[in-house]
Structure 1
């Protein structure tokens, strides 16, 4: 008998059931790979934090954020592995196959832990993007109005989505599960597209000003394509958009993108946190300095010169401590001596 002997094929399942099971299997593999990447980023972040000389507010914010995010990822991947073991090994002959087993036992405490973890994960992850949007736009609060509303909407929709996932055989929730899920991921896509587009627009608009202030070589560390991809979280935006398209088309392979979705979200957020810990991310001081056209090393030198062809009156205005960034205010007297 050959390796593809049809007598070994499972009985009592349709071709679509097999496609759905393959999608779940491939999605689990991708989730494992994504978690591995997330684990490496977390280890690297820990190394950076351990040698960080200055442990101020930013340091503890990073510790709190990563300390909340990573355990949820560990719980999610652990439950995914355990439930896959239950579906494909311990109950391999369950009538209808692994898909039917998941549908009938999704309320098992093991799956409940995983679903709760995956629900809480974006609650923490998306807060970072609102914060980064405000930093890049120099705390223009109106820019965060739309993502704040969509974030709160996501929180509200995620509760019925979670309940419908844990009670798939309840007729009341079964009839609405699809609508809840589509609404949730639509809001998620809108949130991430807005954040990505607005951050990219802002970084692109500041490119020339930053090159004027720091020079093209130094500015390239903050305006490169890679920086824009990381800062804007474009990878997850593309991922969730592809998943929503496949979901809306009823594709049987949508689970290939669904199962790793929390870990791809974690990767995009942890990359940003890592850059912040390494002092390579855009900061409030850098954005303000770019807008004002002045950097600390240039105002600290007694040989400082104007960075732009501004009239003397505008240079004098920098001496007001309400104009310069806080870290530059101590050197403002130099400008008065010019």
Structure 2
């Protein structure tokens, strides 16, 4: 066989694939392998939810576009912008998440401590995390707006009704900012190569 041919390793792997000995298993404790497997499976599940965001964004954008007239142009355009921003932030988060997984499991798999240690010390997913936080703030603001629209005719004062959701929203903003600062300033970071 030629040097660099991929068929020799494949034939070797086929020959040993059915043996009870697992020569390809990493030399890691079972708990580490379980944790990394759960992390990888969680990443796959998150892509299912990204698919749901794609479908819902398309449905919202097409419905809002069809309902746009000259009389409601400003309102519908603001909603179109919000839906597009949510979709864009979600896409950025998903893309950076996939790149972080590739960096941890493929390109830096021999990092001391494995992919989990790489993910903890790396800042490669920080832009994706920021996009996710911004997306969450937009979604929460939209929910508060809906809350106000639903309860605007209520007998109780609006400030009293909206105090709890707005307080939780402001807390979410504070926690998002603190998380971002912590992620940017913690550890030494790992350089992307």
| TM-score normalised by L of structure 1 | 0.46
* Corresponding position of 1:122: 136
Q: Distance in 1 between matches of 2:35 and 2:76?
A: 44
The residue matched to 2:125 in structure 1 has which SS? helix
1:112-161 deviations in Å (ceiling 9; x for gaps):
21121122121111011111111111254121111111111221122222
Specify the alignment match of 1:38 in structure 2.
Answer: 53
Query: Which residue of 81, 89, 99 corresponds with 1:72?
Result: 89
Counterpart of 1:82?
99
Root-mean-square deviation (Å)? 2.0
Counterpart position of 1:138: 152
Residue 116 of structure 2: which of 99, 122, 129 is its match?
99
Answer yes or no: is the 8 Å Cα contact 2:47–2:94 preserved in 1.
Answer: yes
DSSP 3-state at the match of 2:67 = coil
- State how many pairs are aligned: 166
Cα-to-partner distance string for 1:139-196 (whole Å, 9 max, x where unaligned): 54121111111111221122222222344437xxxxxxxxxxxxxxxxxxxxxxxxxx
Structure 2 distance, partners of 1:102, 1:150, is: 29
Deviations 1:210-242 (A, max 9, x none): xxxxxxxxxxxxxxxxxxxxxxxxxxxxxxxxx
Q: Which has the larger radius of gyration?
A: 1
Residue 25 of structure 2 corresponds to which residue in structure 1? 9
With structure 2 as the length reference, what TM-score do the two structures score?
A: 0.77
CA contact (8 A) 2:97 2:128 kept: yes
Counterpart-to-counterpart distance in 1, 2:100 and 2:113: 16
For 1:19, the equivalent position in structure 2 comes to: 34
Gaps of 5+ in 1: 171-338
Is the CA contact 1:103–1:168 (under 8 Å) kept in the aligned structure 2? no
Matched, 1:47 2:47: no
**Greater relative CO, 1 or 2 (CA 8 Å, sep 6+):** 1
Q: What CA distance in whole angstroms lies between the structure 1 residues aligned with 2:37 and 2:180?
A: 24
Contact 1:76-1:115 within 8 A present in 2 as well: yes
- Are the counterparts in 2 of residues 112 and 166 from structure 1 also a CA contact under 8 Å? yes
Measured after TM superposition, the shift of residue 91 of structure 1 is 1.6
Report the secondary structure of 2:111's partner residue: coil
Instruction: Flag the 1:166–1:10 CA change in 2: closer, same or farther, 3 A.
Output: farther
Distance of 1:162 and 1:74 partners within structure 2: 19
- Show structure 2 runs of 5+ residues with no match: 1-15, 189-193
Match of 1:327? none
Compute the displacement of 1:47 (Å).
1.9
